[in-house]
Structure 1
């Protein structure tokens, strides 16, 4: 590997990064923001913070 190859590979990586950003920008212009960055599955469920306490407090009497 000579000294001329290293800048070319770095330049190629920058070019690929620029191409990828341009591609994403074009897709966003056409389709818009289809998927949110964070979904409800990514966020903690407020009911989970209570743990099993809610189920124990609301258990029907016949489930003893």
Structure 2
């Protein structure tokens, strides 16, 4: 094949590519961040409760 073959060049994006990717993979990132939403849930990360929540199920 010649070095300047047209099949090696990247193709321009088509109009439906973004919609197709969103339909297949969904939205990768949320529209807002946690601090913008105001999720003020306070978790008890102190002491043994955090440690116990990190134990894998097979180590019961």
TM-score by length of 2: 0.26
**Which is greater in Rg?**
1
Relative contact order (alpha carbons < 8 A, sep ≥ 6): 1 or 2 greater? 2
